[in-house]
Chains A and B, each alone.
Chain A
Amino acid sequence: MRPFFRNKGRKGEALGLGSASEPAIELVGIDKKFGAVHANKNINLTVAKGTIHGIIGENGAGKSTLMSILYGFYQADQGEIRISGRPVAIRDSQAAIAAGIGMVHQHFMLVEDFTVLENVMLGAEGGQLLAKGTSHARKELKRLESDYGMEVDPDAVVEELPVGTQQRVEILKALYRGAEILILDEPTGVLTPPEADHLFKVLRVLRDQGKTIILITHKLREIMAITDTVSVMRRGEMVATRTTSETTVEELAELMVGRRVLLRVEKGDAAPGNVLLSVRNLTVKDSRGVVMVDNVSFDVRAGEIVGIAGVAGNGQSELLEAIAGIRKPTSGEIWIDGKPAAGIDPRGLRELGLAHIPEDRHHMGLVLKFEEYENAILGYHRDPRYGRGYLLDLDAIREEAEEKIAKYDIRPPNPRLRTANFSGGNQQKIVVAREIERDPKLLLVGQPTRGVDIGAIEFIHKRIIDMRDAGKAVLLVSVELDEVRSLSDRILVMFAGKIVGEKSGDASEQMLGLMMAGIAA
């Protein structure tokens, strides 16, 4: 099959002088509407061959839509796509692959029970008999790995690999199909910082070998660190393109949002009051019986934000779920505002004054097939204000949903839109609005700004601090160390299920990093 022979002679081309200005991708006048939503307005974009091009923009600006058009998931209403100067019609993802475009999805498209090799070959097996294709693929995979410094065990089962490695398999899959252009949509959202560093190393190698890369991210730090050029989208339009070395984080932020953005969190001193959450000797096991939270004790007081720092997978998620009543603790006690809370179901806990912004909005915080207003009451749907007796009062629910949409600037402002059709950041705002507007005593927050744009991050951070200042207790879990440091009044560091230390909010990054790795205490 074609992919086996595609890559020959590519290196020479890419290293040739003047190749940097040769366009790999040209989008001309791309336009796309979803009903009343004008997601892409007359977009023009040129990306030079052998460069890394960043695309930034607020939630719902149309970044994913534009990339979906390039990858054939959606058809543009108008406009032209040119690859290496030649106009191409990309009707579906097969056509995109044939044009040398590969996409690394945020939610990986891997068969979890298959090995790395099987996943890479999938759909490009090369003939009816597997054996021949397999040995060829194994050779090819070896070559790709050594060319790009991406060591992966081809016989490992994907399910058992860490997230960062799974992502590498996605990249290998694209390269195996002969991708010359790689699209990555928010690839670092799910990665730990070392994994993200490794990804960037790989991307640099790919660029140096002549591949063209488009990177979508909300983290301006990443844009500055790795891209050559960067484009900014706002409300469906392409508003600016800059050479990365000639711009600043501040300028980009302003271009994105259309106003100056506070990149630092401003907060006064905490005034801690009564203990509102008390955890004693809590132990939680996962479904396989592995101890995930190991004899943990701590308090959170009214009027303070306690952050839990830790590398993903060290028990923070399980801790949060146990306090929220979703996971049954094996032993230990939880007290909320002086009342025993261990073993009470989430509905009962909400009545005790708990609100929970879950880490995984797609699986827990939202029902993606519901319309927006239906999600605006999830968990609180039994409240009399949403209808007396057995019936739901849809008018009252929609009215309240509209108020929250206005207050949290959720776009598009349509409570009847299916939740899946909101952009990632706006979905998160739906959850945040629901939980914070209930005015709880204790707020549990997991990854509050995953996939959220800087304007919305500023907004969500402000809300969380407002909660604190209003005398609520906030427990925050985030893999973003910056976020934990800038929001928390106290930081608890988790490693291997245990709390290995407590620091004040201004602890240094190095110190916390060492503790998170289980080295210092």
Chain B
Amino acid sequence: MSTASVQLPRWINYGAIPLINLVLAFVCSGLVVWAIGESPWEALQLLVAGALGRGEGIGFTLFYTTSFIFTGLSVAVAIHAGLFNIGSEGQAYLGGLGAALVALSLDRYVPWYVTMPFAIIGAALFGAACAAVPAWLQAKRGSHIVITTIMFNFITSSLMNYVLVHLLIVPGKMAPETRTFLPGGQLPKLDWLIAMFGGKLGAAPLNVSFLIALVMCFLVWVLIWRTKLGYEMRTLGISPSAAAYAGIPYAKIVMITMLISGGLAGMMALNPVMGASGRLQIEFVGGAGFVGIAVSLMGRNHPAGIVLSALLFGILYQGGAELSFDMPSITRDMIVVIQGLVILFAGALEYMLRPAIVRLYQQVAGGR
């Protein structure tokens, strides 16, 4: 109680505390690994080597990272305005439709770099559209955004099922997916980036959307901390009554924020749909929307933090896949447990250690 008001230096708040939480998560994971009779140390080595050891592993890691950056940014933007957007998953899914429609209609006529800006806009528009209804319900009707965005995940899922199975499926085929885009509708791989560090990308799907994600990080930072709109969002997020006093229009800010948030989630689709598989497939989001919540929490809703925590989750995804391949007793489910522990310690239990650290800091700093 008494430590909550103490302001800690940035390096502790944004550096030491997340790091300690992370170490704790790994210690707990290590115990789990040890309990099923494997060596934690060996498992950790396999995980890290799998994620960062070779050019291909790095390519996969950064591919996952890209998706998590988009969804993490989506969650963070909403949180700054006091809105908890649980719907990034569905918004990304619908964003895939936007990207695919652009790719399908342009890939025959123009090269990829002409298609790309339209695809970004298409993905963002569809993602935003998916967020628009919950936003409107929150702004005008007071329906809680958490509930409505969750429901929209289900609605989107059913909608996309219908669209893929009945409308976009290639006639005569069994798989509910679109045709493969021509090169004009695909985002090129970043072989050169990995090659710069002397590695080989191999089969890894790391592509141009990684760069788009980094640009979005910068734009989100500008939005939140350098624009008048961002100022209004933050005011509303921290103190709705001060926002009312300042004449900041609640409904308008809620709408705009959610549209931006949904748009960012929608852009996530560029990565798997246009960058990796080159077609729109069923369930391509695969939980990245939910991981975005943890990424945003752990990254303290700051773009720089989000890049780092998205990278961490990218490592866990890729390294975890390799680990369960190399150590058969560690199944996919075990990897999910480890990811869960990281989310638990870094996200949910973020403040568990804070009081103790504040005391320690006060003793050390006070003695000076």
Contacts and interface: CB of A to CB of B under 8 A. Distances in A.
B211 interface: no
A379 B245 contact: yes
A374 B235 CA distance: 10
B227 A346 contact: no
B35 interface: no
Q: Indicate the member of B2, B7, B366 with the most A CB atoms within 10 Å.
A: B2
Please classify the interface of chain B as helix (H, G, I), strand (E, B), loop, or mixed, using the class held by over half of its residues.
Answer: helix
B362 A75 contact: yes
A391 B226 contact: yes
A363 B228 contact: no
B247 A392 contact: no
A346 B246 contact: yes
Contact of A346 (B2, B245, B362): B245
A325 B228 CA distance: 21
A358 B245 contact: yes
A346 B247 contact: yes
Contacts, number: 82
B245 A390 contact: no
A367 B229 contact: no
Interface string A343-363: 001111110000010101001
Contacts of B235: 367, 370, 378
A93 B242 CA distance: 31
Interface residues of B, number: 25
B362 A365 contact: no
B1 A93 contact: yes
A77 interface: yes
A73 B2 contact: yes
A356 B228 contact: no
A339 interface: no
A366 interface: yes
A92 interface: yes
Q: What interface size band does chain A fall in? A: 35 or more
B242 A378 contact: yes
B189 to A, nearest CB: 35
Given A73-B2, A350-B247, A365-B242, A381 B232 contact: yes
Nearest to B235: A367
B229 A325 contact: no
A387 interface: yes
A379 B2 contact: no
B247 A347 contact: yes
Contacts of A421: 7
Given A93-B1, A378-B235, A364 B362 contact: no
Given A418-B7, A421-B7, A390 B247 contact: no
B167 interface: no
A345 B1 CA distance: 38
A10 interface: no
A366 B2 contact: no
User: 6 closest pairs, A vs B, by CB?
Assistant: A347-B247, A346-B247, A379-B246, A364-B245, A363-B241, A73-B2
20 contacts: A72-B2, A93-B2, A325-B247, A326-B244, A346-B245, A349-B247, A366-B242, A367-B235, A367-B238, A367-B242, A370-B238, A378-B245, A379-B245, A379-B246, A379-B247, A381-B228, A381-B232, A386-B228, A390-B227, A391-B226
Interface of A: 72-75, 77, 92-93, 324-326, 345-350, 356, 358, 360, 363-370, 374, 377-379, 381-382, 386-387, 390-392, 394, 418, 420-421
Interface of B: 1-2, 5, 7, 222, 226-229, 231-232, 234-235, 238-239, 241-242, 244-249, 362, 366
